[in-house]
Structure formats: C-alpha cells, structure tokens
Amino acid sequence: MRGRTPRWRWIVAGGGALLAIAALGAALAWSAIFDSVLASQLALSPTSRSYQNWVAPSVPLYFEVYLFNWTNAEKFPLEKPNLVQLGPYRFREHRRHVNITWHPHNGSVSYRNFKSWVFDPTSNGTLQDNITTLNVIAASAVYRSRFWGFFQQKGLSMGLAMFGQHISVSKLARELLFEGYEDSLLELAKSLPPSTTGGAPPIDRFGWFYERNNSLDSDGFMEVTTGQVRGTLPGQIVRWNHDSRLPFYDGECSRLSGSVGEFLPRDLDEDSQLTMFIPELCRTVAMDYMESGEYADLMYHKYGISLTSFDNSSLSSDNACFCNGACAWGGVMNVSACRFGSPSFITLPHFLHGDPQLLDMVTGMQPDPEKHSFYFAVEPRLGIPLDVAARFQLNIYLEPNPNVALYEDVPRMLFPVFWVQQRVLIDHTATQELVMVRSILDWGATACAGAALAFAAIAAIATCFPKTKHKTDLTAEKLKEDELKLNPM
Ligand SMILES: *[C@@H]1O[C@H](CO)[C@@H](O)[C@H](O)[C@H]1NC(C)=O
Ligand SMILES: *[C@@H]1O[C@H](CO)[C@@H](O)[C@H](O)[C@H]1NC(C)=O
Ligand SMILES: *[C@@H]1O[C@H](CO)[C@@H](O)[C@H](O)[C@H]1NC(C)=O
Ligand SMILES: *[C@@H]1O[C@H](CO)[C@@H](O)[C@H](O)[C@H]1NC(C)=O
Ligand SMILES: *[C@@H]1O[C@H](CO)[C@@H](O)[C@H](O)[C@H]1NC(C)=O
Ligand SMILES: *[C@@H]1O[C@H](CO)[C@@H](O)[C@H](O)[C@H]1NC(C)=O
Ligand SMILES: *[C@@H]1O[C@H](CO)[C@@H](O)[C@H](O)[C@H]1NC(C)=O
C-alpha cells in the first residue's frame, strides 16, 4: 500500500478540477447566463412569472387631468386668452389586458386594454367646477370647412349663429371629462353625410373622455411580441388595429415600432434611445438620454421627450413626415389625422420645449421641466422603469376664416384645453426585489470566481496531500532508524 495514492483522492482531485473549470466558466459567462435566465423569466406566456402583472398591473395607477379655465373669454380676440390651470382632477385607474390571443408561431400576443376610472376625493377641485373653455365643437366644424366653397362656408356661419354657438362654452368638469354634454351642432352633424364630419362616428354627447370609461377601445387593438423568440424583447408593438403600419403618415413615419411601455431594452447607456409606441399620439416617439441619478438605492438613467424627439423638421429632419403638411410650430404634434380630422394638436404641458410663439399667444402658461416633462427613469442594466411620468397637453388649432363670422378675427394659434399626467413610481417590495436581482447580477461572477478558487484549492490539496503523507511516512521511518542508530542498545 505504501507510496500509492488511494483512488478516492484522484476522484476528489479530478472532480475539484472539473468544478473549478465549470465555476470559472460561469464567472466569465455570468452576464450572458443571467441575461438568458432573465429573458426566460420575462417572456410572456400564460404561465410565465411576468404574466400576472402584465395582465392586470398591481401598482396603483392614477390619471390626473388639469383643465384650463378661460377667464377672459368675453374679451376674445381683443385680449390674449388668459388660462388658469385647475386641478388635478384625479382618477384611480384600473386597467387590464383582455381578449388575449396567443400567436405562438409568430411569437406574438394580441389584446385590448380595458380601462376604468373612479374619481378620487384627493383631487384639488370637484367634478361640479364650472369651467369656461373653447367651444371645441364649433372650432372643429369651422376647421373642417376650411376647404369648402364660399357659399357653404357662409351657410356654416349662419348655422353657427342660428344655433347660438359662441367662441367659448361654460361646462362642469364632469361634463367636459367623462359625462359629456349635448349640443345642437352634434344633432345637426348626425344628419350630415360622413364626408363633412371626417368619417367620425355620430355621437350624441361630447366630452374629452366620453364613453372611454369601462371601454375596450381606448387604446385600440394591440399585437405585441412575447419575447419567446431568442434575442427578442417582450412587449414590442407588431400591429396596431390590425395594421402593421401607421395609416396616418407616409415614409419612415408610418413605421410601427417600439415598446408599449411595459418592457424596455436592457443594457441602456447614455447614447441609447428609448423608442416607445404611444397610442394617444398615434405614433412612435424616440426619447433621448437626459440625466442619471439614484432612486431608492438603484441607479437610473432618465430618458425623455426632448426638443428634438417631438419636433418639426427645423431641428430634426426625421420628423418632417409627421407634419402632414406645413410643419407649423416646433414641439407640436399634429394628431388631426388620427382624430377624425379634428384640429387636435398635442404638446408637452404648458408648451414646454415648444416654439416661443405658442407661449406668446396666450397668458398663464408656466412651463417647468420639473412638472411638465415626459420621461422614463430606468434601471439601465435590467431595463426596468423606476419612475415614469407620461404627460401631454391637448390643444385646438385656430385660424381666421373670413367667411365665418365667429372666426373672422381669431388669430392663428394653438388654444390649450387640458393636460394629463400619469405618474407611476416603483413600490417598496419591487424595489427590494430589484436591489436583490441587481446584487445577484453584480456579485454572481465574483461568487463563481470564488467558488472556482475553492474547488481548485480542493483539487490541489487532493493531489498534493498523498505525496506529503508519503513523505511524512518516510521521515517517520527514517526517524525511527535514526533513533535505532542513536540507541544501538
Ligand atoms: C372659471 O372662470 C370663470 C370666469 O372667470 C369663473 O366664473 C369660474 O368661477 C372659474 N371656475 C373655477 C372652477 O374656478
Ligand atoms: C389647487 O388649485 C388651486 C386653483 O384652483 C391652486 O391655486 C392650487 O395651487 C392647487 N393646489 C395644488 C396642491 O395643486
Ligand atoms: C373581449 O372581452 C370582453 C370582456 O372580457 C368580452 O365581453 C368580449 O366578448 C370579448 N370580445 C371578443 C371578441 O373576444
Ligand atoms: C400572427 O399570427 C396570427 C394568426 O395566428 C395572424 O393573425 C397575425 O397577423 C400574425 N402576425 C404577424 C405579425 O405576422
Ligand atoms: C366609471 O365606471 C365605474 C363603474 O361603472 C363607475 O363606478 C365610475 O364612477 C365611472 N367613472 C367615471 C369617472 O365616471
Ligand atoms: C357656469 O357658469 C356660467 C357663467 O360663468 C353660467 O352661465 C352657467 O349657467 C354655469 N353652469 C352651471 C351648470 O352652473
Ligand atoms: C394637420 O394634419 C392634417 C391631416 O393630416 C392636415 O390636413 C393639416 O393641414 C395639418 N394641420 C396643420 C396646421 O399643419
């Protein structure tokens, strides 16, 4: 037996070496391993981890509306409109994906958004507030008549006078928002051919969010990727209302792409852009890096709508095809085409990042990047949004029309009507989970490297230990011999 290494030592040494190599491999490829596990966790399927929260988000959502009260309407157009912001009128929003259909062979899933809103008493104001605003029904009628002949325009002019239409209306907040109000022009529009109303379905009431509560139509029919195909992200728009292009624009602008807001790309850096598909804007918006910071122990990069992402061709030629004609002002999005030809224009609240001329046409706007920007603050490595502020303002385009008495002297301007805000902050539990995931990601490679070292040490000891033992055996025998020599008798 003496001088031979026992078999189990070889097994330990060999096993240790193999494990060391495996751990070393894991340390080197940690990032890729982590990403593939994460991707499989995030991919959408009826059984995946991300599914429950995707179907019905558990974070509380609030929809806040600020209405502009027009305090000097009777002096228009002699005085610039003075607008006083009222609100927020706050609504608790519940949303759910319904009519979910999986398309496994093309890696996508289609659904509709069901949304409902309940008025929240923490609002600054009540739904009974009496608010004066632009008469949008008349403004739309005049806008739609802009290519009509002289006699038709004169006819509209008389019609507006006969129906007692004014440039402004005073309505209660609840009527302006969800409940809607009746109007004689709406009655009239029902009897007109669809071509004169831009194909808009006839409605019996008008309100900005009329018939949106408990409806499936607020965001349209969406088809997004599931992320089950290797190397793709979940939640990226594929088709909208059964169409893989946007029918409202030409060329590059008709391209449908980007995240619908739930899943974002990973490994974002300062040169990355976030592309988001925003149904309210009927388009994809590219958001640029703004700044970095820290929120609840997590680092974030903030991406937002900047001067260029929302602009006309003067600053960013890519956007020219969104203008649909004259690129009117900077920082303005003409959404007329996707609102049945109504004169709707979207900007950031208080014309933030907008053309200075817009601000000059009204009084009462106080743009403030802190309160009015549109951004996503994202944990950059994992692509998880920590703080999202989605905000935009709806404006109505006005221009003079010499044949319509009511609109003879109006200036060419955008009239601000309301702005909305949806703010979502990551909650405490999710933050803690993220911190943990982040530390697994950050320290996993180090842990594997440590394990590799430990296994390597075991292997080394297992191979070297027998030799040492052999040597000690020899030494002991030699000592005995020496002893014998020292004590010959
Ligand atoms: C809106 O403005 C009008 C006219 O100045 C005023 O009478 C009304 O009280 C204002 N509404 C609210 C809710 O402050
Ligand atoms: C509430 O609304 C009033 C105007 O109606 C405004 O002066 C005030 O600043 C608002 N408060 C908050 C907290 O927004
Ligand atoms: C969509 O879902 C709603 C509510 O869940 C249901 O009432 C409706 O019949 C569904 N429509 C289709 C086409 O499946
Ligand atoms: C995916 O498959 C469904 C049918 O299962 C089809 O209706 C849909 O158009 C497909 N989408 C794409 C982008 O090919
Ligand atoms: C929306 O509908 C729900 C349920 O029918 C109702 O409780 C709620 O008050 C409605 N919200 C608004 C803003 O009208
Ligand atoms: C709102 O105020 C206007 C005058 O500012 C008034 O004519 C109208 O009757 C009021 N509406 C309601 C519902 O009180
Ligand atoms: C806005 O878009 C519509 C339809 O796409 C177009 O007809 C209109 O001229 C545009 N308005 C302005 C002011 O550019």
pLDDT digits (tens, 9 = 90+) for 138-170: 999 899 888 888 998 998 899 899 988 999 999
State whether 220 and 351 are in the same domain.
yes
User: Measured between alpha carbons, how far is residue 240 from residues 106, 112, 220 in Å?
Assistant: 16, 10, 7
pLDDT surpasses 90 at 391: yes
**481 within some domain:** no
**Angle (deg, nearest 10), helices 428-486 and 7-28:** 150
Separation of CA 110 and ligand 3 centre (Å): 13
- Among residues 38, 79, 167, the alpha carbon closest in space to that of 433 is found at 38
Query: Distance (Å, rounded) from C-alpha 422 to C-alpha 286?
Result: 19
Rounded mean pLDDT, 12-36: 80
Among the atoms of ligand 3, which is closest to the Cα of residue 112? Answer: 1
Return the residue whose CA atom lies nearest to atom 14 of ligand 5: 178
State whether 455 and 313 are in the same domain.
no
**Residue 458 CA to its chain's centroid (Å):** 51
**Sign of the four-CA dihedral 298, 299, 305, 306:** positive
User: Residues enclosing ligand 4, CB less than 6 A?
Assistant: 103, 106, 108, 238-239
Question: Does residue 377 line the site of ligand 1, with CB under 6 A?
Answer: no
Return the pLDDT at 324: 65
State whether 450 and 311 are in the same domain.
no
Separation of CA 71 and ligand 1 centre (Å): 6
State whether 157 and 277 are in the same domain.
yes
Average pLDDT over all residues of the chain: 85
Query: Distance (Å, rounded) from C-alpha 222 to C-alpha 240?
Result: 5
Question: Does residue 124 line the site of ligand 2, with CB under 6 A?
Answer: yes
**478 within some domain:** no
State whether 35 and 105 are in the same domain.
no
Where is the domain boundary, 404, 426, 448? 426
Separation of CA 187 and ligand 5 centre (Å): 26
- Among residues 450, 392, 433, 434, the alpha carbon closest in space to that of 416 is found at 392
**265 within some domain:** yes
Return the pLDDT at 332: 85
450 is in which domain, residue-wise?
A: 1-47+434-466
Beta bridge pairs of residue 390 = 422
Query: Are the C-beta atoms of 119 and 127 separated by less than 8 Å?
Result: yes
**Sign of the four-CA dihedral 133, 135, 136, 137:** positive
Rounded mean pLDDT, 349-364: 92
Rounded mean pLDDT, 315-341: 75
pLDDT, one tens digit per residue, over 220-241 is 899 999 988 888 889 999 999 9
Report which bound ligand comes closest to the CA of 113: 3
Percent over 70 (pLDDT), the chain: 89
Which carries the bigger pLDDT value, residue 23 or residue 101? 101
Report which bound ligand comes closest to the CA of 86: 2
Query: Are the C-beta atoms of 100 and 111 separated by less than 8 Å?
Result: yes
Question: Does residue 86 line the site of ligand 2, with CB under 6 A?
Answer: yes
User: Residues enclosing ligand 5, CB less than 6 A?
Assistant: 91, 116-119, 178, 213-214
State whether 328 and 414 are in the same domain.
yes
**100 within some domain:** yes
Residue with tokens 């009084």: 363
Mutate which of 108, 110, 232 to test ligand 4's pocket (most atoms within 8 Å of Cβ)? Answer: 108
pLDDT surpasses 60 at 272: yes
Longest dimension (CA), the chain: 143
State whether 32 and 119 are in the same domain.
no
Query: Distance (Å, rounded) from C-alpha 187 to C-alpha 313?
Result: 40
Return the residue whose CA atom lies nearest to atom 6 of ligand 5: 118
Return the pLDDT at 27: 75
- Among residues 115, 126, 56, the alpha carbon closest in space to that of 90 is found at 126
Confidence of residue 177 (pLDDT cuts 50, 70, 90): very high
Among the atoms of ligand 7, which is closest to the Cα of residue 327? Answer: 14
Which carries the bigger pLDDT value, residue 487 or residue 106? 106
Beta bridge pairs of residue 97 = 113
Which carries the bigger pLDDT value, residue 309 or residue 377? 377
Query: Distance (Å, rounded) from C-alpha 260 to C-alpha 70?
Result: 35
Separation of CA 463 and ligand 7 centre (Å): 81
State whether 453 and 335 are in the same domain.
no
Query: Distance (Å, rounded) from C-alpha 388 to C-alpha 423?
Result: 6
**392 within some domain:** yes
**480 within some domain:** no
- Among residues 82, 184, 201, the alpha carbon closest in space to that of 138 is found at 184
Number of folded domains that form the chain? 2
Query: Are the C-beta atoms of 303 and 274 separated by less than 8 Å?
Result: yes
Return the pLDDT at 196: 67
State whether 289 and 141 are in the same domain.
yes
User: Residues enclosing ligand 7, CB less than 6 A?
Assistant: 324-326, 328, 334, 336-337, 397
Query: Are the C-beta atoms of 323 and 313 separated by less than 8 Å?
Result: yes
Tokens of 134: 């632009």
Mutate which of 66, 67, 71 to test ligand 1's pocket (most atoms within 8 Å of Cβ)? Answer: 71
Task: Give me the count of residues in the chain.
Answer: 489
- pTM for this prediction: 0.86
Question: Does residue 99 line the site of ligand 3, with CB under 6 A?
Answer: yes
Return the pLDDT at 81: 95
**151 within some domain:** yes
Separation of CA 87 and ligand 2 centre (Å): 7
Which carries the bigger pLDDT value, residue 87 or residue 82? 82
**476 within some domain:** no
State whether 174 and 307 are in the same domain.
yes
pLDDT, one tens digit per residue, over 475-489 is 555 545 554 444 544
Percent over 90 (pLDDT), the chain: 45
Query: Are the C-beta atoms of 322 and 333 separated by less than 8 Å?
Result: yes
Each residue of 21-54: b (16+ CB within 10 Å) or e?
eebbebbeebeebbeeebbeebbbbeebebeeeb
Query: Distance (Å, rounded) from C-alpha 139 to C-alpha 413?
Result: 12
Return the pLDDT at 176: 95
Mutate which of 55, 94, 97, 99 to test ligand 3's pocket (most atoms within 8 Å of Cβ)? Answer: 99
pLDDT, one tens digit per residue, over 274-325 is 999 998 888 888 899 999 999 888 899 999 987 666 665 555 666 677 776 6
State whether 32 and 73 are in the same domain.
no
Query: Are the C-beta atoms of 444 and 25 separated by less than 8 Å?
Result: no
Return the pLDDT at 484: 46
Among 194-208, 354-368, 443-457, name the most confident range: 354-368
State whether 294 and 368 are in the same domain.
yes
